[in-house]
Amino acid sequence: MGGRGRLGGARFELSELGLFPLGIVLLPGQRIPLHIFEQRYRELIGECLAEQREFGLILADDAGLRSVGTKAKVAEVLERFEDGRLDIVVEGGERFRLLELTEGRSFHTARVDPFEEEAESPSDDGTKRAMRLFHELKNLVGSDVDEPEADTLLSFALAARVDFGPEAKQELLEISSERRRLALVIRLLDRALTGIRLERERREIASRNGNVSRG
């Protein structure tokens, strides 16, 4: 355990991580906007800005807090409101594994460990297939989303550009191998393409005869 300090009248462990539970998943390298309005999270973000520290963004839903989250840094402050609210952009960093929740602050805190990544690179065929499916989906929906950069983990970069939903993104977050993550991204992209094509076929049939059977 690290040493103890004092901030805002409360004692805290220097090894603790402030948590921001949300119904979304932040992937490593991904940037997302956040509107900070609750007092406890204004306090958390204020400390992170003042001390250039990270906080942990972790998925919270009906099942509670998930066991793996992403460290986040404030990349940009878009607007500060007179009542203390903030519009910010955060960027995902390293993943962490939740060990135990701790107490003593107005916001959630926890002891965490780094999430260990396996040294298992994807195959060239897998990389090419993932990019081909991404381009097919991009062209199908007419999106102008930018291309992933060459030095990023492709699985996270692609998943950050497609709305797979929090459950699928959390599953990706908890996979420790880039090869296995990319295999999941390929399945998700394939499923998304199939779903869009089927829906368009149904609409086309419905436009011709005014009725369509959904099985």
- Angle between the 178-209 and 124-141 helix axes, to the nearest 10 degrees? 30
Range(s) of the domain holding residue 49: 4-114
Long-range contacts of 120-129, Cβ-Cβ distance < 8 Å, separation of 24 or more: 120/177, 120/178, 120/179, 120/180, 121/178, 121/179, 122/154, 122/155, 122/178, 122/179, 122/182, 122/183, 123/179, 126/179, 126/182, 126/183, 126/186, 127/154, 127/182, 129/186
Task: Compute how many other C-beta atoms are within 10 angstroms of the C-beta atom of residue 200.
Answer: 11
Query: Which pLDDT score is estimated for 210?
Result: 56
My answer on whether 76 and 171 are in the same domain is: no
At 68, the amino acid letter reads V
Residue 119 within a domain? no
pLDDT at 151 over 80: no
Final residue belonging to a domain, choices 114, 134, 149: 114
Phi/psi of residue 23, nearest 5 degrees: -90, 20
CA 170 – CA 180 distance, rounded (Å): 14
My answer on whether 84 and 180 are in the same domain is: no
Query: Which pLDDT score is estimated for 5?
Result: 37
CA 3 – CA 189 distance, rounded (Å): 46
pLDDT at 123 over 60: yes
Final residue belonging to a domain, choices 114, 148, 179: 114
pLDDT at 89 over 60: yes
What's the CATH code of the domain at 53? 2.30.130.40
pLDDT in tens, 162-172: 999 999 999 99
Least confident of 7-21, 81-95, 135-149, 190-204: 7-21
My answer on whether 160 and 201 are in the same domain is: yes
CA 94 – CA 29 distance, rounded (Å): 9
Query: Which pLDDT score is estimated for 191?
Result: 95
- Average pLDDT of the chain is 89
Final residue belonging to a domain, choices 70, 91, 114: 114
Query: Which pLDDT score is estimated for 120?
Result: 86
Residue 214 within a domain? no
Task: Compute how many other C-beta atoms are within 10 angstroms of the C-beta atom of residue 12.
Answer: 19
How big is the chain, counted in residues? Answer: 215
